[in-house]
Each structure stands twice: as C-alpha cells, then as structure tokens.
Amino acid sequence: MRRNDKKYTINDIARYTGVGISTVSRVLNKTTTKIAVTEKTKQRIWDAVKQFDYAPDINAQRLSSRKSFVL
C-alpha cells in the first residue's frame, strides 16, 4: 500500500506514530534495553510499518555498519 511509490524511512514511521526514531529502531530490531516500550506503542509502530510497506534500506545499514560484504 505504498503511497506515490515513495520509499519510506524510519524517520517517517517515527513522525507518523509520534515517537522517537530510537524507539522505532528498538521495536524493529527487537532490542531490549532498560527503557521499556509499551505494547500499545509497539503495535502502533508495527501497524505503521505495514501501512507504509516499510523495508529497511540495506545500503544504509551497510554504510552505518561500515561493512559492505563486497570484495
């Protein structure tokens, strides 16, 4: 259900759900930290991910990790 063929980012998901980027990242990566994320917030984020057909950008992940896995 992608709108206007725009590739949505984690920033767009955070803005839409009204939470921080780090919260969206924590939920998507299923990271456990001392900061708890409520089930209601997790559900809002997952609903937005499905609605916007969000998929992480593999090139951005590789750039961030400094590992390209290319010889």
Q: What is the pLDDT of residues 9-45, one digit of tens each?
A: 999 999 999 999 999 999 998 887 788 899 999 999 9
SS3 content of the chain, % helix, strand, coil (to 5): 55, 0, 45
Closest to 7 in 3D by CA, of 56, 47, 61: 56
pTM confidence score: 0.77
Per the listing, tokens 């921080």 go with 20
pLDDT above 60: residue 2 = no
Within 3-44, strands assigned E span none
Position with higher pLDDT, 45 vs 5: 45
CATH dotted code for 10-58: 1.10.260
CA atoms within 13 A on the CB side of 12: 15
Are 24 and 6 spatial neighbours (Cβ–Cβ below 8 Å)?
A: no
